[in-house]
Amino acid sequence: MKWPTIAVAAALLVPAIRAQPADIETLHVQGNVFALFGGGGNVTVQTGPEGVLLVDTGLADAAPKLMAAIRKLSPGAVRYVINTHVHADHTGGNAALVKMGATPEMPGPARVIAYLNVMDRMSTPAPGEPAVPAANWPNDTYSTPYKDLFFNGEAVFVTHIPNAHTDGDSIVFFRKSDVLAVGDLFMPDLYPFIDLAHGGSVNGLIAGLNKILEIAVPAKYQEGGTMIVPGHGRLCDEADVVEYRDMVTIVRDRVQDLIKQGKTLDQVKAAKPSRDYDTQYAAQGAFISADAFVESIYKSLKP
Ligand SMILES: [Zn+2]
């Protein structure tokens, strides 16, 4: 589907991702961490003797299939959910997975952690946005730069990334397993969706990508090492994020330059500042077109 503008993309986001959930693919990432693909946004699962921790919960419709996949990994209770941001393809299954994830020994309710702005946006939707059922809201918010917890013998760091994909982004680092779940700050082979209507910005996004690179450590020949679960798409390592950070930074600099020359939005788009990346990141049917990406940068930088 082609997205004419970022504003339209944001408005259409929810219906577009309501497509029938496909089958769930489960991948062992490393250590105690698994990733589930195909339920909307990617879902990261940490398991162990204390139960289950989820990063994001996919689409509401996908919850039964996601739960079946989680149960193949662990019979334990879902004790924690961490939402990387507010979008419904990452939070839609909150209530259902918490409910289905309870056990007689651990009836819950599980802690649903998110940055404070996620709660604010869910409880007070902008005009024209659908209301989010209260059962899907986080019940454990944070408003500090980071939050940490210890679960299944592992330190888990939740770090807030200000004004990047949205204004409520968190990345989650499993220190022992050496896995980072980063939500939609990073989507390999797709231009980023900078959700301006929900407080996103290109400079925040680049800062977030740099934060991921600060935490991740590659293994030999710059491959492997810390594994990165993106919000959508395949499992990645640091090298994939380096390439992505460079792309976003270069296109941002080109747009900034055109703005300095006094170009209008139409002139900036006509200059095609992302031209040499479009075949890789804006293939036919990509969620964010080259024009939408450039427009989001322009609007994000224009004073
Ligand atoms: Zn998103």
Question: Which residues lie closer than 8 Å to 220 by C-beta, 6 or more apart?
Answer: none
pTM more than 0.75: yes
Q: Distance, CA 20 to ligand 1 centroid (Å)?
A: 18
DSSP 235: -
Which CATH number is associated with domain 6-252?
Answer: 3.60.15.10
Q: Distance, CA 144 to ligand 1 centroid (Å)?
A: 21
Tens-digit pLDDT profile for residues 51-72: 999 999 999 999 999 999 999 9
Q: Domain locations in the chain?
A: 6-252
Q: Distance, CA 19 to ligand 1 centroid (Å)?
A: 16
Question: Which residues lie closer than 8 Å to 213 by C-beta, 6 or more apart?
Answer: 238, 241, 242, 245
What distance in Å separates the CA atoms of residue 193 and residue 296, rounded to the nearest whole number? 8
Residue 1 has pLDDT above 50, yes or no: no
pLDDT band with cut points at 50, 70 and 90 for residue 2: very low
- Say what angle helices 290-301 and 238-260 make with each other, to 10 degrees: 60
Q: Distance, CA 73 to ligand 1 centroid (Å)?
A: 26
Tens-digit pLDDT profile for residues 146-197: 999 999 999 999 999 999 999 999 999 999 999 999 999 999 999 999 999 9
Q: Distance, CA 49 to ligand 1 centroid (Å)?
A: 31
Q: Distance, CA 106 to ligand 1 centroid (Å)?
A: 31
pLDDT band with cut points at 50, 70 and 90 for residue 21: low
pLDDT given for residue 284 in this prediction: 81
